[in-house]
Amino acid sequence: MKKKILAALMIGAITFTNMGVGALSVYAEETDGQTTDGETSDGEGQDGEEPCVHQWDTVYSVDSLMTCTEPGQISIHCTLCGESNEETVISVNAYGHSYEHFVTQATTTAAGKQYDKCEICGDVINEEVIPKASSISLAATSYVYDGTKKKPAVIVKGSDGTIIPAANYKVVYDSGLKDVGTYSVTITFRGELYSGTVTKSFTIVPKATALKSLVAGSKKLTAKWTKQAIQTTGYQVQYALNSKFSSAKTVTISKNTTVSKAISKLTSKKTYYVRIRTYKKVGTKAYYSAWSKAKSVKVK
């Protein structure tokens, strides 16, 4: 006669059923309290010690718990002396690790990490540092107005110098991007490995102009230049007694249609260096072009 026994083994919170072993139904022979052959003679002749007449239990006991890597074992034990019946030993397969992926996202100021950790035993593998996204730059930060939209590419590098692929972030440009002014580029990290938002900016400055001529007068000179009215508020003319323009004086011409300027009260017989640039006011901020090439003239 066989008796069905459910070995309801709980190992931590995990039952065999949960581990996919299935409902572990084991069968034990009913022994009517008798022992198997040969075991009654063990220990015969010992002083006053009768060998145990084993009473085999009806349920299995856990001999050793299975782990992620080591099999477990169960067997029927004697209810009197506790001895395990070798005939009943059942080996239970190791679980095998059950890894879960963990990520601490990197930011622009802190490195992150990722690893796989076994939910059962806590074993950690594939541990890896995610370098912080410490270098975020635009392909260019200043452009000269030319009527086209400017959209500098974003370059994101980790602290280890490697490029962080664009799939890890989203780039949003300001609207416009054509006229003189300052424009923002917002980089927002997304995905598994990075988080955070960074804003970079670039400028578009007015197109430069050039001096056409310098005419010397008595203690004065007259500068003429090429009109540059698009995206330009006016001009700045600078003059000095040296080609490096140290201690230079600057005259602002606030109309973009003006194309000449007389500068007086100069010193006779001195050579003056002159250069010009355009500017545009946007709100309260002025944007300047590059300086023109300098010209020089000796005043009378």
Q: Which residues bind Zn ion (CB under 5 A)?
A: 52, 54, 68, 78, 80-81, 97, 118, 120-121, 123
| Strand extents, DSSP E, 65-196 | 72-78, 90-92, 99-104, 112-118, 124-130, 135-138, 142-144, 154-157, 169-173, 181-189
Measured in residues, the chain has a length of: 300
**Distance in Å, CB of 98 to Zn ion, minimum:** 6
Query: Among candidates 157, 140, 144, which has minimal Cα distance to 198?
Result: 157
**Distance in Å, CB of 78 to Zn ion, minimum:** 3
Sheet strands side by side (includes 197-205): 142-144, 197-205, 181-189, 169-173
Cα distance between residue 57 and residue 135, in whole Å: 70
**Distance in Å, CB of 72 to Zn ion, minimum:** 14
Cα distance between residue 25 and residue 3, in whole Å: 10
Nearer residue to Zn ion within complex by CB, 69 or 141:
69
Q: Is residue 275 within 8 Å of 193, Cβ to Cβ?
A: no
**Distance in Å, CB of 15 to Zn ion, minimum:** 17
Nearer residue to Zn ion within complex by CB, 12 or 283:
12
**Distance in Å, CB of 17 to Zn ion, minimum:** 19
Nearer residue to Zn ion within complex by CB, 31 or 159:
31
Nearer residue to Zn ion within complex by CB, 96 or 165:
96
Residue type present at position 152: P
Nearer residue to Zn ion within complex by CB, 121 or 215:
121
